[in-house]
Amino acid sequence: MSLPDPIRLVPDEASEFVHQNFRTTIRGSAVVIACVACVYAVALWWLGDAQWWHHALIALLAAALQPCFGPRAAYPAFLAALLLLIGTCTLSIAHLALRYGPSALFHALLLAYTPVLVTSGRLPLWAKGLLVGGACLLTLWLDAASTARWAQLSAAAPLDLPTAGTLRQLRSMNLLALGMAPAVLVYHFFTLVRRQHHAMAGLALRDPMTQLFNRRHVQATGEALVAQLLHRPQGGPFSVVLLDVDHFKAVNDSWGHEIGDQALRRVAELVSRTARTSDVVARWGGEEFLLLLADTDEGQALLLAERVRCAIAQDPLEVQGQRVALTVTIGVAQSLRAGSFAEVIRHADAALYEGKRQGRNRVVAASGVGVEVRPADLAGA
């Protein structure tokens, strides 16, 4: 029996959220592209085939399309600048470099990057000045070194220079390259939407404090495992290990909620470290944690639960030079003892409260049998 993919367990709310948030961006980007195309036609008629306004227009278009790469607030300044450079490169390579030569690309990069660099608060003013000045000098040097040679090669007849025919073909493909640039941006945009969907799905499945899976994910995974058992009765059972931190309210009252949160994070860390890589470790709610063990019967689950209990009891929390002892009471239930995942949880919960009634800091099975573990069993579990 295998655990299902967590992303596939997320309902359609995440996809709908992505659609609602990016629909405006798609429409806005389409309007910007249409406006820039109109401005391009007017500028070509009014200003002629001048190089400077081509650079400015491409830089403006790249900056306007920046939301396609995701919300700016979600990125550090340097990453937002890098994505802006990527957008500028995509457009500039398709148009400027083929029309005016390699130096035109750096003109557009400089125009696009300078506002982001100047407004960024991560660099001191002198560093910003050096970077902008160095970029200007590099652009001027490339302009002087390559523009004349590019014009000479472009103007040469095919019989005069073997590569001139290739250059003319490249220039004739300018319109095709411009048509491909939006397609590249759209593909990149939807790739990022997909990544955004996975990121939000991951956030929807995690507890923000402990970074463990949350109750919603465990319920979906457990129901999927029950469905697998119904369709494949020959498959192995799964078990649920439900644990509760003993006297957690006393820890909060004595040390404060901040220390209580540290205690929960410590328990989460120890449980994750002790669990197997195939186990699902989750925060069930409050000071309760849950392990979902696929292909595990009650006996194996009892051994693992006892290892978890010992690991927590042997690693107290250090607070202001004092040790805060942490113990847990654990209930274990196996899927074959119930017909649904909710019933398995109820059996594990009943075993947990039976352990509390017996004095806490112990492991109790839903069958009513307390765990009896030898050191050799713990070593081999």
Query: Is residue 313 predicted with pLDDT exceeding 90?
Result: yes
Domain encompassing residue 84: 11-203
**pLDDT band, residue 380 (cuts 50/70/90):** very low
Is 330 in the same domain as 198?
no
pLDDT of residue 262: 93
Tokens, residue 92 = 């500039």
Per the annotation, the verdict on 287 as an active-site residue is: yes
pTM tops 0.75: no
Spatial neighbors of 183 by CB under 8 A, at least 6 apart, are none
Span 182-190, mean pLDDT?
A: 59
State the total domains in the chain.
Answer: 2
Among 203, 228, 246, identify where a domain stops.
203
Is residue 109 a part of any domain in this protein? Answer: yes
Instruction: State how far the Cα of 326 lies from the Cα of 314, in Å rounded to an integer.
Output: 8
Q: Lowest-confidence range among 99-103, 155-159, 200-204, 315-319?
A: 155-159
Among 177, 203, 229, identify where a domain stops.
203
pLDDT of residue 351: 94
Among 156, 173, 203, identify where a domain stops.
203
Is 129 in the same domain as 69?
yes
In contact, 158 and 164? CB cutoff 8 Å: yes
CA-wise closest residue to 8 among 202, 193, 196, 195: 202
Is 254 in the same domain as 159?
no
Q: Which one of 287, 306, 343, 354 is the catalytic residue? A: 287
Is 254 in the same domain as 353?
yes
Q: For residue 234, list its beta bridge partners.
A: none
Is 302 in the same domain as 338?
yes
Interval 45-102: pLDDT, tens? 666 655 555 556 655 655 555 554 444 444 445 555 555 555 555 555 445 555 555 5
Interval 200-252: pLDDT, tens? 766 778 898 998 999 988 998 888 888 887 777 666 789 999 999 999 999 99
Phi-psi region of 113 (alpha: psi -120 to 50; beta: other; left: phi over 0): alpha
Is 129 in the same domain as 229?
no
pLDDT of residue 321: 84
Is 55 in the same domain as 108?
yes
Is residue 243 a part of any domain in this protein? Answer: yes
**pLDDT band, residue 9 (cuts 50/70/90):** very low
Is 112 in the same domain as 227?
no
